[in-house]
Structure 1
C-alpha cells in the first residue's frame, strides 16, 4: 500500500503520467497533451482512456504496488489503452464502462506478473499486459454487429500515395497508437512528445516516415496505409529503441530504423491472423519487435540497455 497521503495534485500528475507512459514518457505535460488529443478525437475515447488509467492505477495502489512506479505512471498506461480498446470495440454504455474498470484492474495484476517474469531476462513489459487483456476480451465478449471484414491484404508492386494521403498517414501512424483516426490528434500527440523529449519526438516522426516507405514498398493497400494501420507499431518501436532503452549513437539510430522496418510486416501479418475473428494486433508487433531487438543487443557487443523507464 502507499504510505502517507497524496494531495489532489499528486494524484492528477500520477494519472497524466500514466497516459504519457504509453509512449514511454513520465512527463505530466506530455500526459496532458495526450489527454487533449484523446478528447479531440472524441469524448468517448478521452473518457474511457482516463477511466482505464485511473482503474489500473487505483487497483495497483490498493494491491500494494511500488510507490515509485505509481508516481512515474507505470501502472496506468496499459489500463488507459485497454479502456480505449473497450469503447472502440464495444461502444459506450454503463456496461462497457464497468468492463473498462474491471479490465483496467486486471491490467495492474498482469503488469505486475509480466514485470516480474520479464525482469529476470532484462526485458521491459511494455504494453504486453494491455495486449493480453484486450485480446482476451475481444475473443470472449460478443461485440456489436460490425461492418464486414476487409478483404485480405494483397500486394501489387509499390503503393503510390498522394500528398494528402502521405500527410494523413504520417499523422495517423502516431494517432493510431491510441486508436485515434483524426490527423490533428496525431499532431497533438507529437507535440506532447516534443514537450518531454526532442529525441522521442524525432524518433516518432522518423518511425512514422519509415513505416510509410516500408508499407508502400510492400505494396500494402493505400487506404490502410493512410489510416495508420501499418505504422503505429513502428512509431512505438522507434521511440523505444531510438530514444529510450539504448544509448543514442549513430549505430542505435540505424538499429532502431531496422526495427521499425521489421515491425511493418509483423503488423501486416498479425492483422491477417486476427482478421477472421474480427480481432486486432493491438501493439503486439511493437512488443515482440522491441523484445527481439533488445534481446539481441548483448550478442552484438554494442552499447548497453538502460531500463530506467521500463516496468
Structure 2
C-alpha cells in the first residue's frame, strides 16, 4: 500500500512539474510539458536540465507555500523554468550558472505568486523577464563570461518553414527548427487550437516582417514570431465580441512584432517583454469593449 501511495504521489507530482513547463506556452498540459522538455533536450541537455530544475524549484516552493491551486496547474513552475533557460543563455553552462538556476527560479516563482495575489492582471512571464534583465546587467557589469552564441541549425527545410518553426521554438530560446517542430507537436497534444494559433501567429509575423522589409536574418531565426506566439495564445480565450474570434490574437501578434522591432532599434534585449506589453494592452482594450464590462 505504501509503495502504491508513493508511486501515486510521484506520478501526480511529475504531472504537476510537466504542467509547469507546459505553462511556458500558457498550457496546463503535462503532455505538452513533456514534449517541450524533449525539444529543449534536442537542442541542449544543459538547457533541458536548467528548465527542469527551474520548474522543480518553483513547483516545490509553491507547494511548500501552500499554493496548492496554483501549483496543480503549473502556475508556480513556468517562470522558474524560463529563468533556468535564461541563465543558460546568459552564462556558460558551468558551476556559476548552475549555482544560480535554483535561487533565481525561486525568486521568479515567488514574484509571480506575489503578483497574482495582489493584481487581477496576469503576470505571465514578467518575473522571468525582470530577473533575466538583472542577470544580464550584472553579467555585463561584472564582466562575467558570456554563453557562446551557437550557429542556428539548418536542416534544409526552406527559409519560410524554418522561420515559422523557430518562431515557435524561440519562446524557449530554441533556434533549431526541429526543436520548434517538437514544441508545436507538444502544443497540439495540449490542445490543437494552441498549435494552430502558434503556427498562424508565427507565420503572420513572418509575412508581416517580409512585407515591411525588416531584416531577413532576424525573421529567419524566428525573432519576430515568438512573442506573437505567446500573445496569440494569451488572447485566444478573450471574448471575441463583434470583431471575431481571431481579431484579438492577430492584433496582439502584430503589436508584439512592432514592439519587438522597437527593442531591436534601441539595441535592448527584449526577451518576452513585447508579448507582455502587447497582451496587457490588447487585453485591456478587449475587456473595456466587452458588453459585460460596459453593463457593469
Pair 189,273 (structure 1): closer, same or farther in 2 beyond 3 Å:
same
The aligned residue for residue 250 of structure 2 is 257
- Of 199, 206, 211, the match for 2:205: 211
The structure whose RCO (Cα within 8 Å, separation 6+) is larger is 1
Cα distance in 2, alignment partners of residues 16 and 74 from structure 1: 11
Pair 44,21 (structure 1): closer, same or farther in 2 beyond 3 Å:
same
Q: Which runs of 4+ in 1 moved over 4 A?
A: 145-148, 247-250
* Larger proportion of helix: 2
Structure 1, residues 49-77: CA drift from partner, whole Å, max 9, x if none? 10111112222233x14201101111000
Give yes or no for the alignment of 1:134 onto 2:136: no
- Of 214, 220, 223, the match for 1:229: 223
Give yes or no for the alignment of 1:125 onto 2:123: yes
The aligned residue for residue 158 of structure 1 is none
TM-score, normalised to structure 1, is 0.84
Query: Does the Cα contact within 8 Å between 1:21 and 1:74 map onto a contact in 2?
Result: yes
Tell me the secondary structure at the aligned position of residue 252 of structure 1.
coil
Tell me which moved more, 292-301 or 73-82: 292-301
Query: Does the Cα contact within 8 Å between 2:91 and 2:146 map onto a contact in 1?
Result: no
* Superposition deviation, residue 250 in structure 1: 6.4
* Superposition deviation, residue 299 in structure 1: 2.3
Give yes or no for the alignment of 1:297 onto 2:286: yes
Structure 1, residues 196-222: CA drift from partner, whole Å, max 9, x if none? 111111110110111101111221111
Query: Does the Cα contact within 8 Å between 2:88 and 2:147 map onto a contact in 1?
Result: no
Tell me the secondary structure at the aligned position of residue 257 of structure 1.
helix
Structure 1, residues 209-247: CA drift from partner, whole Å, max 9, x if none? 1110111122111111000111100011111112x3445
Query: Does the Cα contact within 8 Å between 1:60 and 1:105 map onto a contact in 2?
Result: no
Coordinate RMSD, CA, aligned: 2.3
Structure 1, residues 245-275: CA drift from partner, whole Å, max 9, x if none? 4459861302211221111010111233344
* Structure 2 unaligned residues grouped into runs of 5+: 150-155
Cα distance in 1, alignment partners of residues 101 and 292 from structure 2: 40
